[in-house]
Homo-oligomer: A and B are copies of this chain.
Amino acid sequence: MKKMAGGVTAPKGFEAAGVEAGIKYKDRKDMAMIYSQKPCVLAGSFTSNVVKAAPVLWDRKIVEESPFGQAVIVNAGIANAGTGQEGYAYCQRTASQAAEALGIPEDGVLVASTGVIGMQLPIEKIEAGVLKLAQAKEASLEAGNQAARAIMTTDTRPKQAAAEIQVGDVTVTLGGMCKGSGMIHPNMCTMLAFVTTDAVISKELLAKAVKEDVVDTFNMVSVDGDTSTNDTLLVMANGMAENEEIKEGTPEYEAFREALHYINESLAKMMAGDGEGATALFEAKVVGAATKEEARKLSKSMVSSSLCKAAIYGHDANWGRFLCALGYSGVKFDPEKTELFFESSQGKIQVYKDGMTAPYSEEEATRILSDTEVTVLADMKMGKETATAWGCDLTYEYVKINADYRS
């Protein structure tokens, strides 16, 4: 696998665009399109929230029932959630407009929205935006950048990743973009993420690869514990690399999985590190757990704790909070055997052992915790399973952003 520059337009045959549609923001791009020159097999993963936004209902139907998809229309600013039948009808109108403008079937158009809940989309502006997008779309990396910027809400930077693998003597490319920030928490995927590839792969195998990978990538991210109504991951494969079809159980499938994992993990970490108000990426790593599921629960419990997050913000080696968060994760373990470490590019120290504080230097601990990427490592001494979760610190800025998001 080779890492590359770019995002959704890195693979062959994918075009993108970002335009100003004036939906809620002023003077910035707020609608994006991803378009494939050929029909794609689709895979998706959607929010587990009982309250599902209209675009989630629309996309789930397309992914499940349509043989192919060819375009995605995204808007930022309004979530089209809590909008009833009217909101769902607007998904259909958006798709219909895009289908006409692009000359593709309506059931090949996916839609995604992010922003405030409970407000109806200004559908005329959306329809006008779709026409602008259809005109502006391009196969360039820069067009991918524009799309990645247009889907941002409180994100401070666009998030993209791309990689290529060899399948026989053919180069297969994968690319992705996402937006995250607030309302980010496990259980699919509490964000909008889009991954494209020019691989030849069946719908079934693509679905399997995506399903197996999200549990260790997007579902391990928590910004604030809130699982959104709109969380969506869409994966599109257009086959334009013309590789020999990727089959399960082959080295090529493993390479594909590795590249997909790289894209997903990169986007997941970018989301965590750019959580609302964040000053640091907070990585919680668990080793020595009895089962994979327990390792995931333990690491997510740390990364979701307000007190742990505030300690990271304060560069405060208050290891008791991390031990405490492990303790209420729902997993049984022996606190006397557990060991805790802090780690960053500034070094690594043990802080807890044998049921008590380990001898460490507060000064060194503070230096380690002052990095912009900090890892808290828990060794449970119960088995061999590991998991990693990603979050961010809890800051004044988070409160400021969320105390009046709508204004």
Q: How far is the CB of A106 from chain B (nearest CB, A)?
A: 24
A113 to B367, CA, bound (A): 30
Q: Could you tell me if B306 and A355 are in contact, using CB atoms closer than 8 angstroms?
A: no
- Copy number in the complex reads 2
For A345-366 the 0/1 string (1 means CB < 8 A from B) is 0000000101111000000000
A79 at the interface (CB under 8 A from B): yes
Question: Which size class do A's interface residues fall under?
Answer: 35 or more
A interface SS class: loop
Closest B residue to A227 by CB, please name it.
B328
Q: Which residues of B contact A329 (CB under 8 A)?
A: 50
Q: Could you tell me if B118 and A320 are in contact, using CB atoms closer than 8 angstroms?
A: yes
* Residue in contact with A399 in the complex, picked from B49, B396, B404, CB distance below 8 Å: B396
Q: Could you tell me if B306 and A226 are in contact, using CB atoms closer than 8 angstroms?
A: yes
* Residue in contact with A310 in the complex, picked from B310, B356, B403, CB distance below 8 Å: B403
Q: Which of A226, A325, A328, A356 has the most chain B CB atoms closer than 10 A to its own CB?
A: A328
* Residue in contact with A117 in the complex, picked from B313, B314, B321, CB distance below 8 Å: B321
For A303-327 the 0/1 string (1 means CB < 8 A from B) is 0111100110110101111011111
Q: Which residues of B contact A117 (CB under 8 A)?
A: 318-321, 323-324
* Residue in contact with A402 in the complex, picked from B84, B85, B307, B404, CB distance below 8 Å: B307
By Cβ-Cβ distance, the 6 closest A-B pairs, closest first, are A117-B320, A314-B403, A51-B327, A310-B402, A84-B355, A227-B328
